[in-house]
Structure 1
Amino acid sequence: MTNPPGLMISAPASGTGKTTVMLGLLRALRDDGLVVQPYKSGPDYIDPAFHLAAAGRPSFNFDTWAMDADLLGGISGQQDGADICVAEGSMGLFDGVATRGQSGFGSSAETALAMGWPVVLVIDVSGQAQSAAATALGFRMYNPDLPFAGVILNRVASPRHERLTRVGMEQAGITVLGSLPRRGDLKLPERHLGLIQAVEHPDLEAAIAGYAEFLRENVDLEAIRAAAKAGQAAPVHPLPLPPAQRIALARDAAFSFTYPHLLTGWRAAGAEILPFSPLADQAPDPTADLVWLPGGYPELHAGTLASAATFKAGLRKHAKTKPVHGECGGYMALGEILIDKEGARHEMAGLLGLVTSYEKRKFNLGYRRAVLERAMPGFDTGTALRGHEFHYSSIIEQPDAALAAVFDADGNPVTQTGSHKGNVTGTFFHLITGEAT
């Protein structure tokens, strides 16, 4: 398979506006008649839903820490039929973990190198002018092997500010691909886990159309298209196999975070995905072989979930004879009690003895490597899994047996080991893949 040309949209740091640039670019290229394949570098599970809305094509994560070459090849295979690939980086361009994983440190620069994609650096030039060129030059020179397309200047205060900044870039030999005037209405709404979910945006289509128009007015789209390059085509491998044939998948505003490559792989292998909504008090399909509760925001909907009698009864009935698995928010919903930010206690499904609290918040973030001490759907005892954890809720009680020995990216033990009881398993990390054997 011949790879289409691609680009990596990155930045020196988080908060520079690269997501709004990414969404505007995806939509502008799509409006020009191109088939655009979006990607996200790193473990973010919110941005791909925004990418789908902008490009009209599912977005996938590339993760050079968690994924081996076979899985990266399988995800690369999703480019089929695309005219151009556009990836959004995570954090700063070179930010990753301290310890090498299966493939690398997990930075956006690694993804760009692996795919042969030049980097477009979005730089927030607020409070500086010619000095921004020193930042751009440093990023271009930090790894000379990394192809560098140029910069987009963001949050430019005035024509004079733009002129001075461009002078610095010209002196440094940096190509300026666009200059975006400062506009307060271009910021996406956020909450405690970053951006709100795409399904919750009050008018996402209008927002994305506005971003596209803004980019078209201020960015050289032809130059960006010309800068895109295709790397050497990698062998295409299958995506992960499904953990069951018929999978009842919770899917609503409380349960929405599942990595797209997993669902695509499950469907490609013939599994049937049976969505249901706990918030609408829907029970999982009684013919399902497995119930899977993804992560999301159950802490924001605890009262509704506590009163969802049909959902909880159906879940309990299923768990008597067949497996149930929850990750992060899904794990919390399988427990006895969820305590919300006001300290109110809400009864969850009670399939695990877990008690979690969003009132007593603690930031938990990072890659996870877990060695299973008990089988879970799709994986045998002793299997090593790779995943990512991102939540603020704390465990108050966890009386059940540990599901796995869990470690961070540097090999340090993690206290959130997951748990199991009967046919029910749960983890606080989001599954990315099982390690190759």
Structure 2
Amino acid sequence: MKGFLVASLRSGAGKTTVSLGLMAALARRGLKVAPVKCGPDYIDPAFHAAAAGRASVNLDSWAMTPSQVAALAAGQADGADVLVAEALMGLFDGVGHETGRTGSSADIAAALGLGVLLVLDVTGQSISAAAAALGAKLLDPRLTLLGVVLNRVGSERHRRLAAEAIEALGIAVLGALPRAATIELPERHLGLVQAEETGDLGRRLDALANLVETHIDIDRLLVLASDMALPPPAAAAPLPPPGQRIALGRDAAFSFVYPHHLAAWRAAGAEIVPFSPLADEAPDPSADVCWLPGGYPELSAGLLAAAGNFLDGLRAFALRRPVHGECGGYMVLGAGLVDAGGNRHAMAGLIGLETSYEKRKLHLGYRRARLLAAGPLGPAEAVLSGHEFHYASIITTGGDDPLAEVRDAHGGAPVPDGSRRGLVSGSFFHAIARLE
């Protein structure tokens, strides 16, 4: 099968526009598209699924072992005609210096043999864009640059100057997108507004497909794209199921669950029973474990505080079965949440955590966690990789025991993190894979 990576040299250059447009256009041609997102990201995969008609998967060279990456990629590609991967941040951006394990999108391209389609934002430049294209071609000898798509082109003269300079270096220019702000997707503080909240998503994806069909040479791209040689699909459980029957919070406030977790849990025979806290639904009392994912509970704090059936059911569940919360779910397990307007909302009170969005502060980066006690994430001493991405501040943890010792990807000392009390646990740590 064919496969390629859509990348850029920085965030905001247009790779999501091109990725979604290509996925939608290829699917419209009748091809079976296997979408992939490089790195830690919850929101883009949902857009991928809408564009491609097939669930996406995250691949991460820092958080996953090479065998986990290979197995997930093989499973995703099974039965597909073309794999389209979207990069994270800039193509070469990562952490650490271990070759192939930096978390960069370049690592994923190299591991899977994906050629790179580079999206270059040429705003404010023309011939100088050739320097960026040449640098991308030469910086990492593991990679093959299939060609370049120019983005935000202001005129035919602008396109011609940039394209001629790039093609003179032996680099193919496969397309040029004009400035078209009307097709951009809405954003909020953690990135794009979620796919299920974008009411006119179908129209937007059709517009992106039309844009790409008009301005990118898709036929030539498919000819240039790499022939992938993936191993046969294999079982891969980066995070084994926390129970046989999993009550999963699932709505607009609790949507940050990695597709590879859900797929692995189901493949292992687990049953996932979704419920909506926003609709005042309680976790199924027959479940073995309750999992509250991250999301945007701070935007619905008042509604959640008033959801008596949900909160009472959650408290009753926690008396006899494990409950775990990630990030937003962690905040809801706490005693209170202060919203951006300074209003405090009482939460479940299952742990002593108090959090606030009144003064936002970004917490971002890869994390490695060693569990201090057994729980839904695994046995004591298990080591997990993941990330943290939120703007909340912790007012107090309420004196609960920490869930894990966590260190960042830059050699920092491990620090206690998260909370556990009885059968309840949680942290701002989003688990990607269990390593030990």
Q: Same fold (TM over 0.5)?
A: yes
Q: Where do 5+ consecutive residues of structure 2 fail to align?
A: none
**What are the Cα deviations for residues 360-405 of structure 1, in whole angstroms up to 9, with x where unaligned?**
2110001110001111214100111111110000111002111100
98 and 248 in structure 1: CA distance in 2 versus 1, 3 angstrom threshold: same
2:234 pairs with 1:237: yes
* Correspondence for 1:129 among 115, 126, 143: 126
2:77 pairs with 1:79: yes
Letter in 2 for 1:357: S
How many residue pairs align between the two structures? Answer: 432
Q: How far, CA to CA, are the matches of 1:233 and 1:322 in structure 2?
A: 41
Shifted more, 342-351 versus 169-178: the winner is 169-178
Letter in 1 for 2:435: E
2:87 pairs with 1:89: yes
Identity %: 55
In the alignment, is the contact (CA less than 8 A) between 1:8 and 1:117 conserved in 2? Answer: yes
305 and 73 in structure 1: CA distance in 2 versus 1, 3 angstrom threshold: same
Q: How far, CA to CA, are the matches of 1:227 and 1:416 in structure 2?
A: 49
Q: How far, CA to CA, are the matches of 1:338 and 1:392 in structure 2?
A: 13
In the alignment, is the contact (CA less than 8 A) between 1:121 and 1:150 conserved in 2? Answer: yes
Letter in 1 for 2:148: V
2:434 pairs with 1:434: yes
In the alignment, is the contact (CA less than 8 A) between 1:372 and 1:405 conserved in 2? Answer: yes
Shifted more, 70-79 versus 169-178: the winner is 70-79
Scaled by the length of structure 2, what TM-score is found? 0.97
In the alignment, is the contact (CA less than 8 A) between 1:355 and 1:395 conserved in 2? Answer: yes
Q: Secondary structure at the match of 1:402?
A: coil
Q: How far, CA to CA, are the matches of 2:365 and 2:176 in structure 1?
A: 34
**What are the Cα deviations for residues 112-167 of structure 1, in whole angstroms up to 9, with x where unaligned?**
00000000000000111111011101100111231110000000001111111111
Letter in 2 for 1:40: K
**What are the Cα deviations for residues 222-254 of structure 1, in whole angstroms up to 9, with x where unaligned?**
011112213332354312231100000001110
Q: How far, CA to CA, are the matches of 1:304 and 1:414 in structure 2?
A: 36
2:404 pairs with 1:404: yes
Question: Which residue number corresponds to residue 53 of structure 2?
Answer: 56
Q: How far, CA to CA, are the matches of 2:215 and 2:70 in structure 1?
A: 35
Question: Which residue number corresponds to residue 171 of structure 1?
Answer: 168
In the alignment, is the contact (CA less than 8 A) between 1:258 and 1:295 conserved in 2? Answer: yes
Q: Secondary structure at the match of 2:369?
A: strand
Question: Which residue number corresponds to residue 302 of structure 2?
Answer: 303
Shifted more, 409-418 versus 91-100: the winner is 409-418
**What are the Cα deviations for residues 188-214 of structure 1, in whole angstroms up to 9, with x where unaligned?**
111110111111113111000000001
Q: How well do the aligned residues superpose, as a CA RMSD in angstroms?
A: 1.2
Shifted more, 369-378 versus 390-399: the winner is 369-378
2:286 pairs with 1:290: no
Scaled by the length of structure 1, what TM-score is found? 0.97
1:27-426 to 2 correspondence within 5 Å?
27-76=24-73, 77-100=75-98, 104-234=101-231, 236-240=233-237, 241-398=240-397, 399-413=399-413, 417-426=417-426
Q: How far, CA to CA, are the matches of 2:271 and 2:218 in structure 1?
A: 40
* Correspondence for 1:5 among 2, 7, 22: 2
Q: Secondary structure at the match of 2:68?
A: helix
416 and 225 in structure 1: CA distance in 2 versus 1, 3 angstrom threshold: farther
Shift of 1:95: 0.3
Q: How far, CA to CA, are the matches of 1:156 and 1:283 in structure 2?
A: 51
Q: Secondary structure at the match of 2:266?
A: helix
Letter in 2 for 1:50: F
Shift of 1:186: 2.1
Q: How far, CA to CA, are the matches of 1:217 and 1:228 in structure 2?
A: 19
**What are the Cα deviations for residues 260-307 of structure 1, in whole angstroms up to 9, with x where unaligned?**
101000001111100000000001111111000000001111001000
Q: Secondary structure at the match of 1:172?
A: coil
- After TM superposition, the runs of 4+ consecutive aligned structure 1 residues lying more than 6 A away are none
